[in-house]
């Protein structure tokens, strides 16, 4: 049956006691994390750690061999040189920034935005960046690397466009669903459609993150659920397959999603509970502190500080300084935009030139950000 003849997507699932209990448990953990007062520098540390774990785990699921230290070094390198594995983790980190930007806005989920996100995930090498990745125009069976057996045959390329339109329309109309259910269904359906030649798994997990964040389940940017998928990849892949036949049109086009929802909610429950316990352990042992300036920063400023924290984690000696070209690479912006941002941050009191002079070649954080982010007071010349 061709998908062009299918009705607008209406996923099938039922609520069971374990699913409902997991949803309630995640909501309770979220409330604890959202309201918990933390020591001044822990918000930044938790956010950086979540980005690090999400990047390593989501790329590891697809076979990326880099360990924690390899990811730290790759992310800290502000260029597109290096191995494919190093570029993959840099791309994923940049894609998380893109997801956060979208989640804090009000734009719709669209095929065009998903194509833009995918272009960030797979960009490789120097030269002009692709703005959007077109949906695939050929068959892309998922093949077992050892047996060469086809594990999954996605829908035909001529059906991908309409299936993606149906998915985006469903998500726009599904605001009344519990955020975890909404995110889980979006991710699963996207991966089932497999709209690109590669990078579908990474994009599917990014879309789950985007949906959760837009629905108010950002956990202050501290949560990484991908690591729990990566801990047992066989269970993750089995949950995605839902016991359906290999061919999309023989069952996975309209499955009962209940087992996947139970699996996704259980993973989120473990991730959220673990985060809440770690955040509780980090809580200051004195009177609740005054709100930290970090919480009042705009999204882009928080992303900059997280980037600089990544340099510290990678052990770079020059972590206290960066060049405008570094900013261009981190955020995939033009030199003009980078200069505009730098001067805005200077006016806001976040940055200052690393050395006085008419031509500014590098920038650094001002006090007290230097001490909070880098763990050391600013040494003036």
CATH number for the domain harbouring residue 110: 1.10.3290.10
Q: Would residue 321 count as lying in a domain? A: yes
Tell me what the mean pLDDT of segment 223-231 comes to. 92
Residue 178 pLDDT more than 90? Answer: yes
Q: Would residue 351 count as lying in a domain? A: yes
Residue 380 pLDDT more than 60? Answer: no
More confident: 37 or 140: 140
Q: Would residue 193 count as lying in a domain? A: yes
Tens digit of pLDDT for each residue in 41-64?
777 888 888 999 999 999 999 899
Claim to verify: residue 232 and residue 310 sit in the same structural domain: no
Q: Would residue 2 count as lying in a domain? A: no
Claim to verify: residue 201 and residue 306 sit in the same structural domain: no
Task: Say what the pLDDT of residue 286 is.
Answer: 46
pLDDT tier at 5, thresholds 50, 70, 90: very low
pLDDT tier at 358, thresholds 50, 70, 90: low
Claim to verify: residue 310 and residue 265 sit in the same structural domain: no
Q: Would residue 1 count as lying in a domain? A: no
Residue 35 pLDDT more than 60? Answer: yes
Q: Would residue 12 count as lying in a domain? A: no
Claim to verify: residue 278 and residue 297 sit in the same structural domain: no
Residue 316: which residues within 8 A CB-CB, separation 6 or more?
76
58-67, 197-206, 332-341, 353-362: which range is least confident on average? 353-362
Residue 1 pLDDT more than 80? Answer: no
Residue 33 pLDDT more than 60? Answer: yes
Q: What is the mean pLDDT of the chain?
A: 87
More confident: 280 or 118: 118
How far is the C-alpha of 352 from the C-alpha of 375, rounded, in Å?
18
Residue 135 pLDDT more than 60? Answer: yes
Claim to verify: residue 190 and residue 274 sit in the same structural domain: yes
**Contact indicator for 266, 23 with CB cutoff of 8 Å:** no
Claim to verify: residue 308 and residue 218 sit in the same structural domain: no
Claim to verify: residue 122 and residue 239 sit in the same structural domain: yes
Residue 65 pLDDT more than 70? Answer: yes
pLDDT tier at 381, thresholds 50, 70, 90: very low
How far is the C-alpha of 26 from the C-alpha of 268, rounded, in Å?
7
Residue 8 pLDDT more than 90? Answer: no
User: How many helices, marked H, and strands, marked E, lie in the chain?
Assistant: 15, 5
Cis peptide before 368 (omega within 30 of 0): yes
**Contact indicator for 85, 64 with CB cutoff of 8 Å:** yes
- Looking at 282, 314, 343, the residue that finishes a domain is 282
Residue 111 pLDDT more than 60? Answer: yes
Q: In DSSP terms, which residues pair with 256 in a beta bridge? A: 12
CATH number of the domain to which 309 belongs: 1.10.10.10
- Looking at 255, 282, 309, the residue that finishes a domain is 282
Claim to verify: residue 315 and residue 273 sit in the same structural domain: no
How far is the C-alpha of 168 from the C-alpha of 112, rounded, in Å?
10
How far is the C-alpha of 41 from the C-alpha of 333, rounded, in Å?
28
Task: Say what the pLDDT of residue 377 is.
Answer: 41
Tell me what the mean pLDDT of segment 237-244 comes to. 93
> Phi and psi (nearest 5°) for 258?
-55, -45
Q: Would residue 181 count as lying in a domain? A: yes
Residue 15 pLDDT more than 60? Answer: yes
Claim to verify: residue 38 and residue 116 sit in the same structural domain: yes
Q: Would residue 5 count as lying in a domain? A: no
- The number of folded domains in the chain is 2
Claim to verify: residue 299 and residue 269 sit in the same structural domain: no
Claim to verify: residue 269 and residue 345 sit in the same structural domain: no
The boundaries of the domain holding residue 369 are 293-374
Residue 96 pLDDT more than 60? Answer: yes
How far is the C-alpha of 355 from the C-alpha of 364, rounded, in Å?
9
Q: Which CA distances in Å does 11 have to 22, 70, 85?
A: 20, 40, 35
Tell me what the mean pLDDT of segment 297-325 comes to. 83
- Looking at 282, 302, 319, the residue that finishes a domain is 282
Claim to verify: residue 179 and residue 147 sit in the same structural domain: yes
């Amino acid at each position: 049956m061709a998908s062009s003849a299918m009705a607008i997507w209406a996923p099938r699932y039922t609520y069971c006691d374990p699913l409902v209990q997991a949803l309630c448990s995640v909501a309770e953990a979220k409330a604890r994390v959202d309201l918990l007062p933390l020591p001044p520098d822990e918000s930044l540390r938790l956010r950086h750690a979540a980005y690090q774990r999400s990047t390593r785990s989501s790329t590891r699921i697809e076979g990326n061999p880099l360990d924690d230290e390899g990811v730290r070094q790759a992310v800290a390198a502000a260029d597109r040189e290096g191995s494919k594995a190093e570029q993959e983790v840099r791309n994923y980190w940049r894609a998380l920034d893109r997801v956060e930007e979208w989640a804090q806005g009000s734009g719709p989920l669209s095929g065009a935005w998903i194509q833009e996100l995918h272009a960030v995930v797979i960009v490789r090498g120097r030269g002009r960046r692709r703005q959007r990745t077109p949906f695939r125009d050929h068959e892309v069976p998922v093949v077992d690397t050892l047996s060469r057996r086809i594990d999954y045959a996605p829908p035909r390329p001529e059906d991908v466009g309409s299936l993606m339109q149906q998915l985006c329309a469903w998500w726009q109309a599904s605001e009344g669903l519990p955020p975890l259910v909404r995110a889980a269904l979006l991710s699963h359906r996207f991966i089932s459609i497999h709209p690109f030649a590669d990078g579908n798994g990474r994009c599917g997990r990014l879309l789950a993150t985007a949906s959760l964040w837009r629905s108010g389940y950002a956990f202050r940017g501290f949560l990484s659920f991908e690591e729990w998928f990566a801990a047992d990849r066989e269970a993750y892949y089995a949950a995605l397959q839902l016991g359906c036949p290999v061919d999309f049109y023989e069952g996975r086009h309209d499955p009962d999603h209940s087992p996947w929802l139970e699996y996704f909610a259980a993973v989120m429950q473990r991730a959220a509970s673990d985060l809440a316990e770690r955040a509780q352990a980090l809580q200051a042992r004195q009177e609740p502190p005054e709100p930290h300036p970090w919480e009042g920063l705009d999204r882009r400023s928080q992303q900059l500080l997280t980037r600089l924290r990544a340099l510290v984690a990678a052990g770079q000696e020059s972590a206290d300084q960066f060049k405008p070209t570094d900013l261009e690479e981190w955020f995939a912006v033009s030199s003009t935009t980078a200069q505009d941002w730098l001067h805005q941050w200077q006016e806001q009191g976040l940055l200052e030139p690393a050395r006085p002079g008419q031509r500014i070649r590098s920038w650094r954080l001002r006090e007290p950000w230097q001490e909070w982010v880098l763990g050391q007071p600013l040494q003036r010349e």
